[in-house]
Chains A and B, each alone.
Chain A
Amino acid sequence: MNDLIVKLISRLLIPFIQLYGIYIILHGHLSFGGGFSGGALVGSSLMLYAIIFGLKESEKKLPHSVSQFIESFGVLAYIIIGFIGMILVGSFLSNKSAGFSLGEFGTLFSAGMIPLLTLAIGIKVASTMITLLQRLLKEDSHD
Chain B
Amino acid sequence: MMFEWFNVILVIFLIVCAIAVERTKDLLAAVIIFASYSLFMSVLWLLLAAPDIALTEAAIGAGVTTLLFLVVISRTTRMEK
A33 within 8 A of B: yes
> In the bound complex, do residue A44 and residue B60 qualify as a contact, i.e. CB atoms below 8 Å apart?
yes
Collect the chain B residues with CB atoms within 8 Å of residue A34's CB: 52
Interface secondary structure of A, over-half rule: helix
B48 within 8 A of A: no
> In the bound complex, do residue A33 and residue B64 qualify as a contact, i.e. CB atoms below 8 Å apart?
no
- Which residues 7-62 in B have Cβ within 8 Å of A in the complex? 51-52, 55-56, 59-60
Collect the chain A residues with CB atoms within 8 Å of residue B70's CB: 51
Collect the chain A residues with CB atoms within 8 Å of residue B52's CB: 32-34, 37
CA–CA, A44 and B58, complex, Å: 11
CA–CA, A36 and B57, complex, Å: 11
- Interface range on chain A (Cβ under 8 Å from partner): 10 to 19
Q: Which of A36, A48, A140 sits near B67, CB closer than 8 Å? A: A48
Interface secondary structure of B, over-half rule: helix
Known: A32-B52, A33-B55, A140-B75. A40 touches B64 (CB 8 A): yes
Which interface residue of B51, B55, B60, B71 has the most chain A CB atoms within 10 A?
B55
- Which residues 32-73 in A have Cβ within 8 Å of B in the complex? 32-34, 36-37, 40-41, 43-44, 47-48, 51
> In the bound complex, do residue A47 and residue B56 qualify as a contact, i.e. CB atoms below 8 Å apart?
no
A102 to chain B, nearest CB (A): 22
> In the bound complex, do residue B67 and residue A44 qualify as a contact, i.e. CB atoms below 8 Å apart?
yes
Collect the chain B residues with CB atoms within 8 Å of residue A33's CB: 51-52, 55
> In the bound complex, do residue A37 and residue B75 qualify as a contact, i.e. CB atoms below 8 Å apart?
no
> In the bound complex, do residue B59 and residue A41 qualify as a contact, i.e. CB atoms below 8 Å apart?
yes
Which interface residue of A34, A44, A48 has the most chain B CB atoms within 10 A?
A44
Q: Could you list 5 further interchain pairs (A-B, Cβ under 8 angstroms) beyond the known A37-B55, A41-B59? A: A24-B55, A32-B51, A33-B52, A37-B59, A136-B68
